[in-house]
Structure 1
């Protein structure tokens, strides 16, 4: 049932998404949430919210749903028509701290102000899931670019970027190969695709840096990891959580 839920999320999105030209010539998925949605076989509330980039708690509140696991085929859900699977920020809101001043600095002070902990993201303790070179960067909405891809080596270990609970493990998600998805606090999910082996199970709690699998091959036969972060259902730039340079 869990596999069907995730399959419905990605397969339905692939079938019904509108594709519009992007300035760089790539295809961009711009599926918007309808005002209402009728639940079909294989849907879960989580999969519907993931598909349209909506916050599950908000949808539950708007529809008077107390238990997210209890929706039924034919049920009409009010989605509001405002969601977007690609309407995500390049970096999470949490990395911006304080107000930005537009006034010119006083000439009296020539030294640059010392950086404080307030300017550091609260997710700075996330680690890189794999040591390697980024071969594809994040570009919200572009096919295959809702995360980053890191080149790897055969049998190289893939680690959890942050502690959480395994929400999915399997190969039922088109375009991800064998993938592990971990649920974290604050509405965050991290996905680790193209794995050759996995060492965790669904429902298992994992710790930051814990070994969850090994690097496998992408569809174009290259050893790499697809790493994706979603916040409240929307893809966000993973570098906003793990940093732009390797650390573990």
Structure 2
């Protein structure tokens, strides 16, 4: 079949189809999906190369992670543990990734590459750079509101790097209500962590935990869902010299200053 144009030229039907397809193809719109925004990566815990811990009766993975300042997700991954993180007495857990190792020693061929004593010129070290005090970084946002876990005045404050001052101490009386600082799930309820007495740990998100120590009595069990302000314990002096609450907030396993998150009062 052929078609006659006004100019008198003749083109085949097949050629017309080809031209139409080409025109449609040029006019079509291709939908390009924008790449999704990269998800925020959680800062990994500070590993302890070569260090291990032996599981004792009554230990939980959350308790071991808390005691060593490591995020439980990292500890589980380093030891190939899946939820619900079952561990058993006598088990050895690495406090470092599977590829971690003790610092290498210079032996064998490496040692032979050292210059012979007395033959090498000792380099003069460059002058030490002048360092200025680093500015205090802004606290990470938890994304939810915190509330005070107990009434009373502060008798102890957080000190960065001090293993004995990783939270705040709130004075009170025996039996006084201890309340959850935010919604969450109880991941530890026991007395197996030395120095904390009767302790409760609540998981608020994958990155945030809070801890409540020195209680007289624990009122919640592991796995129990908790609402902010709900009473979880009675204040006491287990592991302490007076009736008080030791309260900690941890971000990715690392203690942070609770006063940067609790509302002023």
Give the TM interval when normalised to the shorter protein: 0.5 to 0.7
Note closer, same or farther for the CA distance 1:164–1:158 as it changes in structure 2 (3 Å cut): same
Contact 2:61 2:87 in 1 (8 A): yes
Of structures 1 and 2, the larger Rg is shown by: 2
Q: Which residue of 2 aligns with 1:103?
A: none
Choose which of 77, 80, 89 in structure 2 pairs with 1:65.
Answer: 80
TM-score normalized with structure 1 length: 0.60
Note closer, same or farther for the CA distance 1:130–1:176 as it changes in structure 2 (3 Å cut): same
- The 5-angstrom pairing of residues 111-130 of structure 1 reads 122-123=143-144, 125-130=145-150
Q: Would you say 1:234 and 2:254 are equivalent positions?
A: yes
Note closer, same or farther for the CA distance 1:163–1:51 as it changes in structure 2 (3 Å cut): same
Give per-residue Cα distances to partners, 1:66-101, cap 9 Å, x unaligned.
6152678457653758xxxxxxx886312xxxxxxx
Cα distance in 1, alignment partners of residues 216 and 92 from structure 2: 38
Q: Which residue of 2 aligns with 1:93?
A: 140
RMSD of aligned residue pairs (Cα, Å): 3.1
Residue 60 of structure 1 and its aligned partner are, at CA, apart by 5.4
Residue 163 of structure 1 and its aligned partner are, at CA, apart by 0.8
Q: Which residue of 2 aligns with 1:221?
A: 241
Q: Would you say 1:157 and 2:157 are equivalent positions?
A: no
Say which SS state the counterpart of residue 261 (structure 2) adopts: helix
Structure number with higher relative contact order (C-alpha < 8 Å, ≥ 6 residues apart): 1
Q: Would you say 1:140 and 2:160 are equivalent positions?
A: yes
Residue 136 of structure 1 and its aligned partner are, at CA, apart by 0.3
| Count of matched residue pairs | 179
Note closer, same or farther for the CA distance 1:60–1:140 as it changes in structure 2 (3 Å cut): same
- Residue segments in structure 1 that go unaligned for 5+ positions in a row: 1-31, 82-88, 95-120
Q: Which residue of 1 aligns with 2:104?
A: none
Q: List 4+ stretches of structure 1 deviating above 2 A.
A: 32-61, 63-66, 68-81, 89-92, 218-221
TM-score normalized with structure 2 length: 0.57
Cα distance in 2, alignment partners of residues 146 and 190 from structure 1: 11
Cα distance in 1, alignment partners of residues 212 and 139 from structure 2: 19
Choose which of 40, 48, 72 in structure 2 pairs with 1:34.
Answer: 48
